[in-house]
């Protein structure tokens, strides 16, 4: 149990004490009143009932205080707190440093994204134009029995390039949630890029 949990439980336990103390004071008053009545009205059975209820409340108070003491003994010492505070200060500085690095890296990342999106639009626009023109070509050939070679909607793409694009998409999805790039995805991308470099060099 950490200190935060202990303090939370201590707050709950301490909140019970005033009500229990109030009950004890009430039963003490009832007991004293029952003991002080005139002899002809004195009822020992009533006194015993009040005493039992008082004892029950006092036991509850003792249990709560015992639990409070046990939890307080688990709290960090002042020295522990001092050392933890020093570590927290160092961690805060690391967070601020990471924020600065992120703020510097994010605009560069977004600039590359804008370039990728522009290139992607060019690719998809060309593919769309190719599909439209290819459909028209097939229709004309069929309708007029033309001796014209049919062409693919889009030129063939190297499967390795497809793998590169798919892996980059996977990595970008992680970036959206600020996740560290998976080593396996990074290694796969490096392998695909190396293969592409080899094929281009040939």
Low-confidence ranges of the chain (pLDDT < 50): none
Q: Which residues of 27-66 are buried (b: 16+ CB within 10 A; e: fewer)?
A: beebbeebeeeeeeeeeeeebeebeebbeebeebbeebee
Q: What is the predicted pLDDT for the residue at 175?
A: 84
Select from 199, 119, 142, 170 the least CA-distant residue to 127.
119
Q: Are 189 and 162 in contact (CB under 8 A)?
A: no
Classified as helix, coil or strand, 144 is: helix
Q: What is the predicted pLDDT for the residue at 3?
A: 93
Classified as helix, coil or strand, 69 is: helix
Q: What is the predicted pLDDT for the residue at 82?
A: 95
């Amino acid at each position: 149990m950490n200190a935060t949990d202990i303090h939370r439980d201590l707050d709950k336990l301490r909140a019970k004490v005033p009500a229990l103390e109030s009950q004890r004071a009430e039963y003490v008053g009832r007991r004293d009143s029952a003991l002080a009545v005139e002899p002809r009205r004195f009822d020992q059975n009533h006194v015993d009932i009040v005493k039992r209820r008082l004892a029950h409340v006092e036991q509850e108070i003792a249990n709560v205080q015992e639990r409070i003491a046990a939890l307080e003994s688990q709290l960090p010492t002042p020295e522990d707190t001092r050392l933890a505070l020093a570590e927290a200060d160092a961690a805060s500085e690391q967070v601020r440093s990471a924020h600065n690095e992120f703020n510097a890296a994010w605009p560069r990342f977004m600039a590359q994204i804008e370039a990728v999106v522009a290139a992607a639009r060019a690719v998809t626009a060309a593919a769309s134009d190719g599909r439209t023109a290819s459909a028209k070509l097939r229709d004309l050939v069929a309708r007029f029995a033309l001796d014209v070679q049919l062409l693919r909607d889009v030129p063939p793409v190297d499967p390795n390039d497809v793998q590169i694009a798919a892996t980059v998409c996977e990595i970008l999805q992680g970036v959206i949630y600020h996740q560290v790039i998976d080593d396996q995805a990074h290694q796969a991308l490096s392998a695909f890029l190396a293969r592409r470099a080899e094929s281009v060099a040939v």
